Amino acid sequence: MAKPVILTVDDEPQVLNAIERDLRQHYRGEYRIVKAGSGADALEAVQGLKRRNDPLALLVADQRMPGMTGTEFLSEAMKLYPEARKVLLTAYADTEAAIESINTIGLDHYLRKPYQPQEVLDVLDDLLGEWKNLVELPYEGIRVAGTLWSPSSHAVKDFLARNRIPYQWLDIETNPDARELVESTEHGGHRLPVVFFPDGEALVEPDHRALAEKVGLQTEAKEAFYDLIIVGGGPAGLGAAVYGASEGLSTAMIERHSTGGQAGTSSRIENYLGFPKGLTGADLASRADTQARRLGAEIITAIDVKKVRLDGDYRIVECSGEMELTCRALLIATGVTVKELDVPGVAELAGRGVYYGASLTEAAYYKDQHVYVVGGANSAGQGAMFFSRYASQVTILVRGASMGATMSQYLIDQIDDTENIEVKTHSTVEQVGGDEKLEWISVKNHETNEMETFPAAALFIFIGAQPHTDLVEGVVERNSAGFILTGPELLKGNGGRGKWPLRRDPFLLETSVPGIFAAGDVRHGAVRRVASAVGEGAIAISFVHQYLKTV
């Protein structure tokens, strides 16, 4: 496979050579460094890369160049390589231009000259990490062979992608070599997908655990007993894992799918503190996962916690695979799942053109096609923005009269400014259909009562949430919708003591069972944002410490 390219352009030969030298030394065999002395030469180089289908990871351009400015060059280059990360080198006086470029061309970073090599390399490392999370590189590693329309192929790809495991996708319908490869395996293509590993082993339609074990994720706990067990590896669980482990608690986090939770599926989180140009959910998850492990938390993946039970002051979690773990304090951070759209055809076509959430792994397959998004909240808006980079047309279907009540204004503005996104208000999907895959959707306009059918390549659904609390059913108090009650909520009724069993008041995030805490979206009254989930996970640890002093 051709090495991904870093292209740098500057009209001052001395600066250009210095950057090239620094990049070569730092990235050695990992990236190919290409340099150009003008915007025009750089553009020609980019066109050449595109013709050869070589991956381009990063563009570093000087702003002040005769003929074509850095911004002009980047804006042309991104037409060919929209995923490539873009950095501008500016003089002090160009700061305005650079800030404007953040909005106009999605500039990822600008650096002022004279630059400090280490500062530049730190920034570039970060950006290249993001790029790797975003692109599907042809990779001499794991290969997944299946059909685009098979739900189990989608599930395997989604699991690998959300666990940040690179793989190559082989569609056996369009790739005769891949079909041959699949037919040569034991089940001869009757069951899909087939996952091929570099060591020669192939797994046919593997479950998450088998896949996790094979790719080297931790699926077994190292101990039987922990100070703190966290169930759920979304932002709340990760926040708690970082603080729990860093504050000396032996901490295990159990996640049934992939760390990052819902946030991990987001194409761009723009409102998380400290990331002025936003970051992808995959990037956030990968950073937090690494941080939690570095601080000593155990992260056990592809294991489902089925049930929680009590034994005196001990809290016991019963997991899939007959694993049972005990702890002194337990944090439930299991979040929510988007609600299912209950209209004819959706269940049958799920994974075959109909997807819940922003299915980043599939978006690229809908290049130049018309896709639909259902929902009016931020997640739907972000999804639509993401798909608009690939699809020829994105239509957002919103039940209400506008998106103003449910979507942040910055997203509404971005959608308004995006030519290939249209919004249909007062509209609901009534039926979907297709033979092998989604082909059409019927939409009702509630103002006119008219029903229309449109050809549709894909339908992405974002319509509300259901909490994951079956594991504590009958153990902790929940509201009628299943969300967990915590802190002051438990004291309502019964003369101000509600169903709370102790003389002391419950800690803020404590459930009706002392020593069991809840954080994030799973909690009744949660704000349902990344930052609040992370914050709740973190402050839960302070309550865990206080609780442990009482037992």
Ligand X SMILES: Cc1cc2nc3c(=O)[nH]c(=O)nc-3n(C[C@H](O)[C@H](O)[C@H](O)COP(=O)(O)OP(=O)(O)OC[C@H]3O[C@@H](n4cnc5c(N)ncnc54)[C@H](O)[C@@H]3O)c2cc1C
Residues 259, 360: contact at Cβ < 8 Å?
A: no
Indicate whether 236 belongs to the interface with ligand X (CB under 6 A): yes
The answer to whether 221 and 255 have CB atoms below 8 angstroms apart is: no
The residue within the footprint of ligand X, chosen from 4, 39, 235, 381 (CB under 6 A), is: 235
Q: Does 301 bind ligand X (CB under 6 A)?
A: no
Which of 379, 395, 414, 512 is the binder for ligand X (CB under 6 A)? 379
- Give whichever of 189 and 261 is closer to ligand X, judged by the CB atom: 261
Does a cis peptide bond (omega within 30 degrees of 0) precede residue 4? Answer: no
Among 179, 370, 528, 545, binds ligand X (CB under 6 A): 528
Q: Which is closer to ligand X, CB of 189 or CB of 520?
A: 520
356: tokens are 């819940």
Q: Does 334 bind ligand X (CB under 6 A)?
A: yes
User: What token pair was written down for 377?
Assistant: 């909240």
Angle in degrees, 0-180, between the axes of helices 281-294 and 117-134, rounded to the nearest 10: 110
Instruction: List the interface residues with ligand X, window 465-494 (CB under 6 A).
Output: 468, 471
Q: Residue 440 CB: number of other CB atoms within 10 A?
A: 14
> Which one of the spans 26-34, 111-119, 227-235, 428-436 is the region binding ligand X (CB under 6 A)?
227-235
Of 235 and 434, nearer to ligand X (C-beta) is 235
**Does residue 232 touch ligand X according to CB under 6 A?**
yes
Q: Between residues 39 and 520, which has the closer beta carbon with respect to ligand X?
A: 520
Q: Which is nearer to ligand X, 108 or 521 (CB)?
A: 521
* Residue 237 binds ligand X (CB under 6 A): yes
β partners of residue 35: 8
Judged by CB under 6 A, does residue 257 bind ligand X?
Answer: yes
Q: In which residue are the tokens 């337990």 written?
A: 330
- End-to-end CA distance of the chain, in Å? 58
The 3-class secondary structure across 480-515, one letter per residue, is CCCCECCHHHHHCCHHHCCCCCCCCCCCCCECCCCC
For position 520 contacting ligand X by CB under 6 A, the verdict is: yes
Looking at the Cβ atoms of 61 and 385, the one nearer to ligand X is 385
- Do the beta carbons of residue 1 and residue 138 sit within 8 Å? yes
Which one of residues 189, 244, 261, 487 is an interface residue with ligand X (CB under 6 A)?
261
Least CB distance from residue 95 to ligand X, whole Å?
Answer: 27
Q: In whole angstroms, how close is the CB of 140 to ligand X at the nearest point?
A: 30
345 binds ligand X (CB under 6 A): no
Q: What amino acid occupies position 467? A: P
Segment interacting with ligand X (CB under 6 A) among 234-242, 359-367, 394-402, 445-453: 234-242
Tell me whether residue 120 or residue 509 sits nearer to ligand X (CB atom).
Answer: 509
How many residues touch ligand X under the rule CB under 6 A: the total is: 39
CA-to-CA distance for 57 and 542, rounded, in angstroms?
Answer: 42
The single residue among 255, 283, 362, 510 that binds ligand X, judged by CB under 6 A, is 255
- CA atoms of 483 and 468, how far apart (whole Å): 8
CA distance 375 to 369: 20
Q: Is residue 37 a contact partner of residue 10, using CB atoms and an 8 Å limit?
A: yes
**Residue 188: Cβ within 10 Å count:** 11
Beta-sheet pairing, 305-311 with 314-319:
antiparallel
Q: In this complex, which beta carbon is closest to ligand X, that of residue 109 or of residue 257?
A: 257
Q: Which is nearer to ligand X, 382 or 414 (CB)?
A: 382
Residues in touch with ligand X (CB under 6 A): 231-237, 254-257, 261-263, 265-266, 269, 271, 304-305, 333-336, 357-358, 378-379, 382, 468, 471, 520-522, 528-531, 533
